[in-house]
Structure 1
Amino acid sequence: MQNRGATFVSAMPLVRQAEVDIQDPEAVRKLVKALGPGPFSIVLIFFSPETDLASFSRQLKAEIPWGRVMGCSTAGELTSIGYDEGKIVAVAFPVEHFGVETLMVSDLKNCVPNDLMGGLVRARQILSQRYPQFPYEFAMLLVDGLSEREDELTAALASGLGPVPLFGGSAADGARFEKTLILNGRDIIENAAILTFFRTDCPVKVFSYDHLQASEKRMVVTGAEPNARIVTEINGEPASVEYARQIGCDVADLNDSVFAENPVVVRVGGRHHVRAIKSAEADGSMHFFAAIDEGLVLTLAEPQDIVSHLHGALGGLAAHSAPEIVLACDCIFRRVEAEHRQRKGDVSELLRAHNVRGFSTYGEQIGSIHVNQTFTGVAIYPPGSDFDREPLPADMVPVT
């Protein structure tokens, strides 16, 4: 379902939402009009990788009236119809309910994450001093999804966050894996990350979950290039050959759908986390989306029904009070699986019904961990909402 040129805005003013087709020559102006006058503490913008960047950049410089604008490119958008493509999505946070501070990492490849600690602590202190009336807080990280620095960056940042729950997503480039972009103000850049701290009078719940069940099939990484996230050998055999044998597939048939439906997980902190496979190479190696190393035990996992699992998870978040919005980072492989299993429409209906906005990613961040194949984000509730008594589903990871 495509609504070319159409915009959407929530009737509720607590968190404003709008979307527009990338082909609209007045896309940014229509977003600005749909969101309303503000003032906003920050506007998040997630844009399709098919966006004409030259035109988008010109429009941003000419039309954006707000001070803080952050965002990234996507592997698909989460809009008012659920899974969507070819859109620019904006989520705006009014100053009446939200205060923010941002920390920019402009050169990921040469950044020493521990050097960011001073700026991180200062941002938190400034925010608490400026908005003492807001009792709730969380942090969102947007990071270049081809940088291969997410694991190191997330782990380092977590040590300086204190009690602030962190979630985030890796910028994406559809299915091309060529260029992933971060939006900082009116500038569109590569090799960057942005950490945004939020304080608010709205109760929030940061979460991360997947619909995967670990099996009894285990493999050991016996050859790897950790810095490049490449596995050369599994169980002493060429990685792709052994992986294909374990799942009962021909090496020539390995593709994104196979990877999505036959994920491998590792046990970290008492819980299994996906190490998503990016590609199988001609030399028998495999490229991953997250940290990998020799000696790591990989366990094959089996997806449960993605629709029923999502229904239970989103229902749990809304058990006592419906969120104003669920801001989400959804792994590209979840979308791939939903499409392959012909469940995309059902997933989209759930996302629409629960007012989910965000984007499909090349990876997600939760707390100190970079993960894959999850639905990760924050549920934001109206002030005074009662939601603490309801337990989350057992396989969810609550951070608050």
Structure 2
Amino acid sequence: MTRPARPRANTDPPAAAQAEAERTLPAMAAALHHAGRITRTGFADADAPDALARLAQMLAPLDELELIILFVSPQADIHALSAAAAHELAPAEVVGCTTAGEIGEAGYTDGEIVAIGLPRSHFSARVLPIDDLNAYDAQSQIDQIIRNRNDMARETPQWGSEFAFLLIDGLSVKEDALTADLAPGLGPVPLFGGSAGDGSDFGATYVLCDGKARQDAAVLLQIRSNCSIKVFNTDHLVPTAQRMVVTGADPARRLVHEINAEPAAREYARLLGKDPEQLTTFTFAAHPVVVRIGGQHHVRAIQQVADTGDLVFFSAIDEGVVLTLAEPLDMVDHLDRALSALGETRTPDVILACDCLLRRMEAQQKQLTPQISALLAKHRAVGFCTYGEQVNSIHVNQTLTGVAIYPPETDDTAVRP
């Protein structure tokens, strides 16, 4: 005898339940992603059509964030992304820049958008866009910086940490002048920053602010927090006894025509024992030159050889400057020691890092990329690869520069207006 078939149970969830699941699952995933952390991070492929939606899920809830900083691969449609981010990541204010590579979850990466979110419960921020780097009024910028500092101090008087983060068009050649001009307004507040990149193409670099991708521009982030912070700057280079003198230069364009009264590229190559026709970015990364400023050596990195045989620099250069060849220490060992020192007494919640493109190229050339990436990931470093770094009032090259942010020692979050 054949039994009548039982009606099949309806396993499809009701529309309301399905909609609730669609809302809940991303929120749960976001909570797991940044569980136990003060700051929030997000990562997405730069060319993915849903990149911003994925970032929004990882950074959620967005209405708790004071600021979102994006480090964007030049593979992205930067103009469209900048405009869309201002809406899709609202109500948080969104700033950022293009990169010469990103530092993501697993260290060095390419073709991504890396996002960091600062929650209002621990951070207060002011965003100062600076357009037209050839004609800005330095005094008005200084005045606004001071007003911003005073406003934040009144808003959260019990919070004791401050730092400033500068993002600037990496092809503007204005980093040296701008950092020096802003220093009087910042006073004792430590500044660090990075120059926006364009991979290794050096074609166009952008700063993101107010829904626009801007050139010949910068954005200064003034941040106050109840988290402890440490701004740092490190490199693995040691000066040698080999010196040279710049005898012909165009400071406005960062060009060196002559070294030791000889054509610049040819003389640099001769000192290295290399063919001047074979100079590459890898050569410059492996054989940097430094200058002595205020008792310390700072890299004056070479970007490329011009068609004229001139050397194009990443930083300010002038006639009469004495350049010293430098040699690298063990890059992996030095980075491990530098990052471990930041966590010697307390583990950072995050390290926001600006790493020079030339360091990344050196790691690639020496096949050290996996080891460097592992260290960056181990120490919770996220950020981007730059065309130069800023620390306080100086523009530098071939360094790792950034800020370590630590959980607050006491739970004194403020009720923010």
User: What range describes the TM-score normalised by the shorter chain of this pair?
Assistant: over 0.9
Match of 2:148 in 1: 123
1:35 is matched with 59
**C-alpha displacement of 1:158:** 1.1
Of 353, 359, 380, the residue aligned with 2:378 is 353
1:260 aligns with 2:318: no
1:94 is matched with 119
Q: Does residue 105 of structure 1 match 2:114?
A: no
For residues 69 and 150 of structure 1, what CA distance do their matches in structure 2 show? Answer: 22
Q: Once the 2 structures are TM-superposed, how far is the Cα of residue 58 of structure 1 from its aligned partner? A: 5.1
**Mapped partners of 1:194, 1:281: distance in 2:** 30
Distance 1:266 1:129 in 2: 41
Q: Distance in 2 between matches of 1:257 and 1:114?
A: 40
Which residue number corresponds to residue 162 of structure 1?
A: 187
AA matched with 2:298: H
Residue 360 of structure 2 aligns with an amino acid whose one-letter code is R
Question: Deviation string for 1:150-185 (max 9, x for gaps)?
Answer: 000001111221110000000000011010000103
What is the match of residue 70 of structure 2? 45
Aligned with residue 42 of structure 2, among 18, 26, 51: 18
SS in structure 1 at match of 2:318: coil
In the other structure, the counterpart of 1:183 is 208
1:68 Cα offset (Å)? 1.2
Pairing of 1:1-400 with structure 2 (within 5 A) = 9-38=33-62, 39-57=64-82, 59-384=84-409
% identity of equivalent residues: 47
Q: What is the deviation of 1:106? A: 1.5
Shift, 1:362, TM fit: 0.2
Q: Per-residue deviation at 1:319? A: 0.7
Q: In structure 1, what residue type is equivalent to 2:91?
A: W
Distance (whole Å) between structure 2 residues aligned to residue 142 and residue 12 of structure 1: 28
Q: Secondary structure at the match of 2:134?
A: helix
In 2, Cα distance between equivalents of 1:150 and 1:109: 11
1:389 aligns with none
Deviation string, structure 1 residues 12-41 (Cα, Å, up to 9, x no partner): 341000100112111001101110114111
CA offsets 1:93-115 (integer angstroms, 9 cap, x no match): 00000001121102112224344
User: Is the Cα contact below 8 Å between 1:167 and 1:366 reproduced in 2?
Assistant: yes
CA distance in 2, matches of 1:10, 1:346: 25
Shift of 1:92: 0.3
Which letter does structure 2 place at the counterpart of 1:16? R
Q: Does the Cα contact within 8 Å between 2:85 and 2:94 map onto a contact in 1?
A: no
The two structures have a TM-score, normalised by structure 1, of 0.92
Distance 1:196 1:58 in 2: 19
Give the C-alpha shift of residue 55 in structure 1. Answer: 4.2
How far does the alpha carbon of each residue in 1:181-239 deviate from its partner, in whole angstroms, 9 at most, with x for none? 00103211111101111111111000001000000000000000001000000000000
Q: Which amino acid letter does the alignment assign opposite residue 190 of structure 2?
A: P
Q: Within 1, Cα distance between the matches of 2:137 and 2:268?
A: 34
| Consecutive unaligned residues in structure 1, runs of 5 or more | 1-5, 386-400
Conserved in 2, the CA contact under 8 Å of 1:136 and 1:199?
yes
Q: Is 2:169–2:216's contact at 8 Å kept on the other side of the alignment? A: yes
CA RMSD of aligned residues (A): 1.5
Quick one: distance in 2 between partners of 1:299 and 1:147? 26
Contact 2:282–2:365, Cα closer than 8 Å, also in 1: yes
Q: Which runs of 4 or more aligned residues in structure 1 lie more than 4 Å from their structure 2 counterparts after TM superposition?
A: none
2:262 corresponds to which letter in structure 1?
Answer: E
Q: Is the 8 A contact 2:79 2:212 kept in 1?
A: no
Q: What is the CA–CA distance in structure 1 between the aligned matches of 2:105 and 2:81, rounded to whole Å?
A: 22
Instruction: Provide the C-alpha distance between the structure 1 equivalents of 2:162 and 2:83, rounded to a whole number of angstroms.
Output: 34
User: In the alignment, is the contact (CA less than 8 A) between 1:323 and 1:382 conserved in 2?
Assistant: yes
Aligned residue pairs total 380
Alignment match, 1:392: none
Q: Which range is displaced more, 306-315 or 127-136? A: 127-136
Instruction: Provide closer, same or farther for how the CA distance between residues 382 and 302 of structure 1 changes in structure 2, counting only shifts above 3 A.
Output: same
Kept after mapping to 1: 8 A contact 2:82/2:208: no
Instruction: String of CA shifts for 1:316-355, please: whole Å, max 9, x gaps.
Output: 1111111000000000000000000000000000000001
160-169 vs 33-42, greater mean Cα deviation: 33-42
Preserved CA contact (<8 Å) 1:29 1:59: no
Distance in 1 between residues matched to 2:406 and 2:142, nearest whole Å: 30
TM-score of the superposition, structure 2-length normalised? 0.89
Partner of 2:21: none
Q: In structure 2, the residue corresponding to 1:110 is in which secondary structure? A: coil
Work out the CA distance in 2 between the residues paired with 1:80 and 1:10.
12
Of 51-60 and 281-290, deviating more is 51-60
